[in-house]
Structure 1
Amino acid sequence: MPVRPLKPCAWAGCSTLVRGDYYCPRHAPLAAEKQQIAKRTVHKRYNERRDESDGFYKAERWRRLSIYYRKKHPVCEHCDNAASDLTDHIKPYKTHPELALDWDNLRALCRPCHNSIGERVGLLGSRP
């Protein structure tokens, strides 16, 4: 069985050759620590913004509109196969809060379609 070739450590400025890992033994713990700090920063930023959007989605006006919309649209508008579980914004609430309660900006989706659309669209706000 062929052996993988040696590659330089991914740490900037390090020329130690490694096989099978990205970092040499000296830089691996530093890289892991750097990654943890980056994760904490991202999570902190996300959680700071989350209270704002969670407040809207817990509001009585949104809950009533969401339930009513799903009663009018009982089947997923994306796949037309499953029952709708969620009311989704076509243009996301985070980027278009003025369209939060606009009937024309809503769509009823099943959970799998909602998750797949969210992964593809991200925060672009375009219809898939």
Structure 2
Amino acid sequence: MPVRPPRMCAEPGCSRPSTPGSHRCRTHKAQVDARRTEQRKAAHRDYNLRRDESDGFYKTERWKKLSAYYRKRYPVCEYCNNAASDITDHVKPYKTHPELGLEWDNLRALCRPCHNRIGEQIGLAGRQDGTTRRG
């Protein structure tokens, strides 16, 4: 079977062959990777600056102690009843119901996959209604 000749680097003005699995030569691939890494860092930095003030609630000692105690009392995921609980979740989200943030009846112990699944379902429901996704 014939071997395909290497492509030329996609960077304008460069006539070197590209590296296997890439569209750029080694020099330009390194430059693009460095730019991409910087862009990701900037995106994460910007995201963290825009985080809601409500996220500070999850760093308080009262929440950390209540969350740990709740998971100690309910060590198994309340959704699937199979896995160990990793996360104490609010039934009614803290962002929309901050007054229920420390209410025992508004908590549930979930494993990470169930927490993500429930969060995705809430996000999809929100998008269908035309509202933004819960963060």
- Give TM class, smaller chain: 0.5 to 0.7
Please say if residues 92 and 125 of structure 1, whose CA atoms lie closer than 8 Å, have aligned partners that are also in contact: no
- Unmatched segments (≥5 aa) in structure 2: 126-135
Please tell me the residue identity of whatever aligns with 2:37: Q
> In the alignment, which residue of structure 1 is the partner of 2:120?
121
Q: Sort the Cα spacing of 1:29 and 1:71 in 2 relative to 1 into closer, same or farther, 3 A.
A: closer
> In the alignment, which residue of structure 2 is the partner of 1:98?
96
Percent identity, aligned pairs only, is: 50
Please say if residues 90 and 108 of structure 2, whose CA atoms lie closer than 8 Å, have aligned partners that are also in contact: yes
Report the Cα distance in structure 1 between the residues aligned to 2:122 and 2:39, rounded to whole angstroms.
Answer: 21
Please say if residues 91 and 125 of structure 1, whose CA atoms lie closer than 8 Å, have aligned partners that are also in contact: no
TM-score normalized by structure 1? 0.56
> In the alignment, which residue of structure 1 is the partner of 2:111?
110
Larger Rg: 2
Question: Which has the higher relative contact order, 1 or 2, with Cα contacts under 8 A spaced 6 or more apart?
Answer: 1
- Unmatched segments (≥5 aa) in structure 1: none
TM-score normalized by structure 2? 0.54
* Alignment RMSD (CA, Å): 4.2
Report the Cα distance in structure 2 between the residues aligned to 1:99 and 1:30, rounded to whole angstroms.
Answer: 47
> In the alignment, which residue of structure 2 is the partner of 1:57?
58
CA deviations 1:45-79 (Å, max 9, x no partner) are: 24434694552112244335535654664420232
Please say if residues 9 and 22 of structure 1, whose CA atoms lie closer than 8 Å, have aligned partners that are also in contact: yes
Q: Sort the Cα spacing of 1:4 and 1:92 in 2 relative to 1 into closer, same or farther, 3 A.
A: farther
